[in-house]
Amino acid sequence: MDLLKESLLDAPIIEKDGYHYFVHPISDGVPMLRPELLREIVIKIIRKAELEDVDKIVTPAAMGIHLSTAVSLMTDIPLVVVRKRQYGLEGEVALSQVTGYSENEMYVNDVYEGDRVLVLDDVLSTGGTLAALTGALEDIGADIRDIVCVIKKADGENKLDEAGYHAKTLINVRVEDGEVVIVDEHGDD
């Protein structure tokens, strides 16, 4: 059994404001992230993602950073982190991030018209973060070459699909009766 699948089946489930989600090293940093799990995931991302002619990897803070850093190191593609802090730098673009359990402002720096980007994130749940991010990247004039998320929580609405984008995923899961259930162990292409 691969490490990602095994770790998800062992993940505890918590409830926050009526929203059930799993606690996992990739999505939460808890429990600790073992190097062999990160390595397995990064290799799968590199194999699944469309990397040809990509200028930049773009990831929302905070849980996409470790994944995107590792992919950047393996591919030599520069990394842009979309932050929750406004810096006021020239060209900074704001976006509103709405997830199943929070709402925040985020800020994109160092992405310009014509940049060819790979968007990477840890979990696709409601799609709120990625829908807002793809909208901001469109406004900038960036060319979104691919979107890859490690885990897709395959229940409920997905605002990314509604925004006209599709994310590739490594594994799709659902939370049922307090447990993670694997819906598709190979994810979406």
Q: Note the pLDDT tens digit of each residue in 55-93.
A: 999 999 989 999 999 999 999 999 999 998 999 999 999
Region of residue 173 (left: phi > 0; alpha: psi -120 to 50; beta: else): beta
Pair 128, 97: CB distance under 8 Å: yes
Q: How many CA atoms lie within 13 A of 40 on its CB side?
A: 15
- Is pLDDT of 155 > 90? no
**Strand pairing report for 79-82 and 56-60:** parallel
CA-to-CA dists, residue 127 to 50, 72, 77, 90, 130, angstroms = 20, 23, 25, 28, 5
**Distance between CA atoms of 65 and 39, rounded to whole angstroms?**
14
Neighbour-count burial for 121-142, b at 16+ CB within 10 Å, e otherwise: bbbbbbbbbbbbbbbbbeebeb
Tokens describing residue 158? 């997905």
Q: What is the mean pLDDT of the chain?
A: 93
Q: What is the pLDDT of residues 97-117, one digit of tens each?
A: 665 556 789 999 999 999 999
**What is the arithmetic mean of pLDDT over 158-174?**
94
Contact between 132 and 104 under an 8 Å Cβ cutoff? The reply is: no
Contact status, residue 120 vs residue 45, Cβ threshold 8 Å: yes
Asked whether the beta carbons of 23 and 12 are under 8 A apart, the reply is: yes
pTM of the model: 0.93
Q: Is 20 exposed, middle or buried (0-12, 13-18, 19+ CB in 10 A)?
A: middle
Average pLDDT over residues 159-163: 92
CA distances in angstroms from 114 to 53, 122, 139, listed in the order given: 12, 25, 11
Task: Tell me what the mean pLDDT of segment 170-174 comes to.
Answer: 97
